[in-house]
Every structure is written in C-alpha cells, then in structure tokens.
Amino acid sequence: MFDFTNNTTVVTGAASGIGKAVATLFGQQGAHVHLLDMNQEGLDGAVQEITGAGGNATAHLADVTNQGGIHELFQQIGKIDVLINCAGISNIGRADNTTEADFDKVYQVNVKGIYNCLHAAIPLMLQHKAGVILNLASIASRVGLSDRFAYSMSKGAVLGMTLSVARDYIAAGIRCNCISPARVHTPFVDNFIARTYPGKEQEIFDKLSKSQPIGRMATPLEIAHLVLYLCSAEAAFITGCDYPIDGGFINLNTP
C-alpha cells in the first residue's frame, strides 16, 4: 500500500515543519521528491535526510510568489504526478489592526503562491491526464479564530481554490483535496511563542496545546500520514474534499 515508486512529487515549504515531514514520508514511500523552499540550509538538511535513508530527493531554492520562476522550475522538473502545497505564513491581527502590508504579504504567499503552483502544474498534469493536488488549508477556513484575520482569509481562499480545481479537472483525471489541521507542533510554533511571549514559553505552549480537545498539538508526521493517503492510489475515489485533522477542535469544542 501507498507505493509511490516512479512517482514525481513536488512539495512546497519543504524545508521544515509539515512540508519537511511530508517530503520525507513520500521519499520513504519511493517517490522522487522535489523540495521547494526559500531556506537553503533547511532544504539541504531535508534532502540529506531523505537520500541518507535511500530515497530520491532534489532541492530547489524557490519563491512561490514568483510566477515566472515557478513556471520555469516546473518545466524543468517535467512530469509532475503529485503537487503538495505546504508553503505558508501566519499573521496575528484583527481586521482593524492588520496593516495593508501584512495583509498583502499573507495573500502573496498563502493564496497567490498556491495559485502560481496550480497554474504551472496543471498543464503538465493535463498532458498525461492524471495528477493529484493536495493543498494545506486550516481549521481557520471553517471556524472563527481570534486575531487571525489575514490568515483566515487566506485559508478560506485555499478551500475555495481546492473545490474549484477539483470541479474543473475531474474529467481530466486530476484529483484535488485539502486538509485542515488545528495547531501542529513545528519550529514555527516554538519560534512564535519565544518571540511573542518571552519568559512564558511553557505556559503558552500548554495553553495552545489544550485548545485541542485531545489535549495536545499534532505532530508534523501525523499530518503527513493523511497527506500520503489522500495522494495515494488507495484514495483514487476522493476529490473535492476538505479533511479536518484537528484533535476534535471543530466538532468537540464547546462555545
């Protein structure tokens, strides 16, 4: 099961966190993984980990907000079987105190970045009448989160793009789904807590962990396992769906 031998998989945001876990897992399952990120050191470490375990991986220093650069890179890669859009950034703020610059920055990465990758990958998939796309959305596309105005906007757009692509290309053999994690314990979370709440790191970490009814954050690997399934041949009947992976956050939290 979950055999990706002779499969070419592109993962954005692959230098750390969820993207790195996804790329590593796909490498273990036989895919040739192309890792995209703007963090060269993180990319090199991820590729070394994959190839050191016998996998096949190639690093690409890439900016998903640059449409021309993404098109050129995808043309170089050639046939793409799976595209996994993990690249994204967060932002703290409400509608009245989010600056235009911050709003635009989140939009450029989280929305336009995915659009650019879709715009470049789908024509390649159409050539072979096959392909799988998995976008990283968030529980923020389903529920209201405090102080996450721009981030929630972007993840709502990810859900909308996912459904649109699934509808438009279903007859062409292209599947498109997204997943909506709650909080995941990544280096981003640790850095955010240390930067925003110095001296209260453990207190804030515990508070954020307990906001999931299950009592903890997810691990990147737990997210990667769901991604692997949805992109596999075993999930061939699944398209146009959003899968919460949230420790009960959406349905079990009381108002």
Residue 59 CB neighbours (<10 A): 22
Please tell me what DSSP assigns to residue 166: H
Residue 65 neighbours by CB under 8 Å, 6+ apart? 108, 109, 112, 113, 116
Q: What is the dihedral of CA 61, 67, 70, 76, to 10 degrees?
A: -130
Beta bridge partners of 131: 174
Residue written as token pair 């070419």: 8
Distance CA(123)–CA(83), nearest Å, equals 12
Q: What are phi and psi of 135, to 5 degrees?
A: -105, 145
Which residue out of 107, 151, 229, 243 is catalytically annotated?
151
Amino acid (one-letter) located at 160: G
Going by C-alpha positions, the residue among 144, 139, 173 that lies closest to residue 158 is 139
Mind giving me the DSSP string for 155-199? HHHHHHHHHHHHHHTGGGTEEEEEEEE--B--HHHHHHHHHHSTT
Question: Does the annotation mark 151 as catalytic?
Answer: yes
Residues acting as catalytic residues: 151
